[in-house]
A and B are shown apart, each in its own frame.
Chain A
């Protein structure tokens, strides 16, 4: 009992306890999930148009209260295309129609269990898409900032959740754009971010308006946007259209150009049109050619309808391609074009199923490793009261590292777990050094703690300094992909040296006295 009192009168032990409590607060673990959240609302879906909010709590679905994902899944499965869906989110009622996509009922929203802690899983554990793009030409830092900004906006407009867009660079000074997003079915998003999105409407060789001349893009069905006509030739094709408003200057240009173009011969009355068409280009590629009604000849009109199409093997496939193409074009027109062309250098698509398997086994491995280390130490010293503090110290170290990760919003991915492991490894090493120094010299030197452990501290500080030195270059390289590992290892080693090791030294010193 006296020993316990002695341990708990040390400020080093209290610092450790304080850090553990602070980490608990930072991680904020909950043992049961706190209901459901709407994690995604697909752009232009019925839910989107009916302003279903994103990232809020979902409490009721079709009149039944829901808090578990399996309950939600069961209710959602009963919905058929065309049904009216009523949900309560944030205490407000929303209603929208279910649609059909890929032969399945499509609600346009994604629902998840609310997270049980503040720890954020990295891409390789949570699943998602990572795309690394490189500008095709040299870019200034302002241009790069624009790249990041526009890409971020595009993905937001597209309605994606958990997006991270940032600039990363490697040792050679190459700059990359790193885009990460949750969810794995994001082929459209990948197309969207890799497209420069230079829009131009031309009549003949003359430019009528550019993407930057477009003031407003209408996106809802009520405003006249949508896929409106499907037909079958060899394969299916569907057309889409959506209205845009252009600037008066561009409208003037349109009037000037069209006034010179004669009405096509053979077309009369209301259906007559001009000899030349309005050609729409995206990134210098022709998207569609539109007939210009003769009533527009010489007119300063600011309202235009942008059209395009999508094809597919079935009507549904063509419809959804057309819808996707429309969404992409709208997004590009809203957010503007990128200052340079980008080239995709790396695409990783990580399945959430595999990720959760990796996480589960990694946690088991980590705990099993700590136990195995404990057993070896117990055998080596033949004293369980040395093994137990070492194991507890290691576990508290892991906990504090996760606490700090939650605090600084460092994602936990596989590389970070490897970093935690490295931390435990060096931590155990240092504790063994302390134990042996105390065991061998405990009786020889003065009772001053510092004096007694001077050599142990010298060794530990040396190891610490070299670990940090070895990790520094990693903070800079690899387009940032190994950065998490380096950050976590440095945090872990620092926590070890400044928090857990001093506490352990005090505990072991008292225990072995």
Chain B
């Protein structure tokens, strides 16, 4: 490859680093993966669990009330906690442009009747209108185990498909590693942002596997099967791939802003985090591995 002299301008220098220091750049993504594993290990060491789970995966009670009244979330939380004698998590629920829809109240280990009565007493919203989700901890535990197995199984199925598809170990491994880095990074950021994983979040993580592989397959196909130079193919993939990632992130951001349903919010926030990681892991890590593989093949 001819040695291009760095041109003036930020874009040119970015381009220069991207083209020539790609092995160095890979340290960023490797660093992120190591950091992410560190975050999860720390979490495990301090709380006994790798991930923070919400009521749907841990067991407990969530009450959602629909009201346009204003309550101070912290005050309501403190009042409920003191009268019920357990820790309570209150969140406000709003739609488009902050329009009040209601509140969600999360309580672990308590029957619904007592909590319902307390919430009704404090808010005045009749308990017959509440949405109540209650799961036993044993069910949630077995559900969570199932979910972890499903994630592993999905990952393995996806890996098999990728291997069959490319029939070359290194490019296939690159695709799978990108998906792995996306997942682990996303789960770590969820812990840092205190996002508790719900059963809907699991669906989002599975979707992330699918989305993550999309851009990687695009890149690998173009680079391995293309007729132009590797860098040209990488840039053309970058153009298509970044459009894909931008549209997806934008669509999910709209969903996050518009939809008050916790299910949809969790799905959108997880996928947004995941797709940001995917941009890094596709265009730095996967590109790096592919280029190293092609160089090795040339020798």
Chain A contact residues, CB within 8 Å of chain B: 124, 132, 134, 170-172, 174, 184-185, 344-351, 353-355, 357-358, 361-362, 364-366, 368-370, 372-373, 376-377, 380, 414-415, 417-418, 421-422, 424-426, 428-429, 432-433, 436, 440, 455, 458-459, 462-463, 465-467, 469-474, 476-479, 481-482, 485-486, 489
Which residue of chain A lies nearest to B134 when distances are taken between CB atoms in the complex? A347
* Interface pair A174/B243, CB less than 8 Å apart: no
* Interface pair A463/B214, CB less than 8 Å apart: yes
* Interface pair A489/B207, CB less than 8 Å apart: yes
- B22 contacts A by Cβ under 8 Å: no
Q: Can you list 19 A-B pairs with a CB-CB distance of less than 8 A?
A: A124-B261, A170-B143, A347-B133, A351-B131, A354-B131, A358-B259, A361-B96, A366-B255, A370-B251, A415-B203, A415-B263, A424-B251, A426-B214, A436-B240, A462-B217, A463-B214, A466-B158, A467-B210, A469-B157
- B86 contacts A by Cβ under 8 Å: no
Residues from chain A with Cβ under 8 Å of B155 in the complex: 470
Q: Which secondary structure dominates where chain A touches chain B?
A: helix
Contact of A462 among B221, B250, B252 (CB under 8 A): B221
Which residue of chain A lies nearest to B113 when distances are taken between CB atoms in the complex? A187
Tell me the minimal C-beta distance from A39 to chain B in angstroms: 18
* Interface pair A377/B243, CB less than 8 Å apart: yes
Most buried by A among B101, B132, B199, B247: B247
Residues from chain A with Cβ under 8 Å of B247 in the complex: 372-373, 376-377, 428-429, 432
Which residue of chain A lies nearest to B128 when distances are taken between CB atoms in the complex? A185
- B165 contacts A by Cβ under 8 Å: yes
Q: How many angstroms from the CA of A357 to the CA of B225 in the assembled complex?
A: 49
Q: Which secondary structure dominates where chain B touches chain A?
A: helix
* Interface pair A478/B259, CB less than 8 Å apart: no
Name the interface residues of B124-142: CB closer than 8 Å to any CB of A: 128-136, 138-139, 142
Q: Mark B251-269, 1 if CB is under 8 A from A, else 0.
A: 1101100111101100100
- B27 contacts A by Cβ under 8 Å: no
Tell me the minimal C-beta distance from B151 to chain A in angstroms: 8
- B211 contacts A by Cβ under 8 Å: yes
* Interface pair B258/A372, CB less than 8 Å apart: no
- Given known A-B contacts A184-B128, A349-B130, A471-B154, A463 and B263 have beta carbons under 8 A apart: no
Q: How many angstroms from the CA of A458 to the CA of B223 in the assembled complex?
A: 13
Tell me the minimal C-beta distance from A122 to chain B in angstroms: 11
* Interface pair B147/A478, CB less than 8 Å apart: yes
Which residue of chain B lies nearest to A380 when distances are taken between CB atoms in the complex? B243
- Given known A-B contacts A368-B254, A462-B217, A474-B203, A417 and B264 have beta carbons under 8 A apart: yes
- B290 contacts A by Cβ under 8 Å: no
- Given known A-B contacts A346-B136, A373-B250, A425-B211, A479 and B143 have beta carbons under 8 A apart: yes
* Interface pair B206/A474, CB less than 8 Å apart: yes
* Interface pair B157/A472, CB less than 8 Å apart: yes
* Interface pair B263/A422, CB less than 8 Å apart: no
* Interface pair A470/B199, CB less than 8 Å apart: no
Closest 7 CB pairs of A and B: A469-B157, A345-B139, A369-B251, A473-B153, A365-B258, A473-B150, A171-B146
Which residue of chain B lies nearest to A475 when distances are taken between CB atoms in the complex? B150
Q: How many angstroms from the CA of A365 to the CA of B131 in the assembled complex?
A: 22
- B213 contacts A by Cβ under 8 Å: yes
Tell me the minimal C-beta distance from B133 to chain A in angstroms: 5
* Interface pair A361/B158, CB less than 8 Å apart: no
Contact of B135 among A174, A346, A455 (CB under 8 A): A346
- Given known A-B contacts A462-B217, A474-B203, A361 and B131 have beta carbons under 8 A apart: no
Contact of B207 among A354, A369, A422, A477 (CB under 8 A): A422
